[in-house]
């Protein structure tokens, strides 16, 4: 019960006030990063040390985020997602954890509901460029770089550099 109340308070503070504070790197941000970090600790399932939740980010309370990691400006994380340690995320990233059903053609897609959620897992020391889209069930390995505007439809092995739509391996870092 106490956890639920804490999450509700964190949600209200974040969405009514902290979400709209200046980005963390502006000269006169007046503790924006710290205020959003406090909200993250109240709202998220797990929130590590030195977390940076940027202006305008929207995320599920079922997100976990490791130490020294960030959620980018105007990013949207819809559902359960595990973000490891030392993850950098650019602006306007979207992480989906479920899709619409579309199996039947006799009824409109919006009436068919959704498939079950598939959590997204992002490893440690990952750099996700701006406007990246990550689809349900994807696992991004450690040390991965995801190029800007990539659409990640499949899991990515450790130390890969991926880009494109759909994302493919461009090279390996090791």
Catalytic residues: 100
**DSSP character string of 34-47:** HHHHHHHHHHSSEE
Is 127 in a helix, a strand, or coil?
A: strand
The secondary structure of 68-105, three-state, reads CCEECCCCEEECCEEECCCCEECCCCEEECCCECCCCC
54-82 per-residue burial string, b: 16 or more CB within 10 A, e: under 16: bbbbebbbbbbbbebbbbbbbbbbbbbbb
How far apart CA 165 and CA 153 sit, in angstroms, is 9
């Amino acid at each position: 019960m106490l956890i639920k109340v804490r999450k509700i308070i964190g949600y209200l503070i974040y969405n009514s006030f902290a979400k709209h504070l200046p980005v963390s790197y502006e000269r006169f941000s007046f503790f924006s990063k710290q205020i959003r970090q406090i909200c993250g600790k109240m709202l998220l399932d797990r929130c590590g040390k030195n977390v940076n939740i940027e202006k305008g980010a929207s995320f599920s309370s079922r997100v976990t985020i490791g130490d020294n990691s960030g959620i980018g400006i105007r990013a949207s994380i819809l559902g359960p997602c595990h973000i490891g340690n030392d993850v950098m995320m650019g602006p306007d990233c979207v992480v989906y954890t479920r899709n619409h059903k579309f199996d039947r053609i006799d009824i409109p897609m919006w009436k068919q509901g959704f498939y079950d959620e598939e959590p997204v897992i992002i490893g440690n020391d990952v750099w996700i460029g701006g406007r990246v889209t990550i689809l349900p069930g994807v696992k991004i390995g450690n040390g991965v770089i995801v190029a800007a505007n990539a659409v990640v439809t499949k899991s990515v092995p450790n130390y890969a550099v991926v880009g494109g739509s759909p994302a493919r391996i461009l090279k390996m870092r090791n």
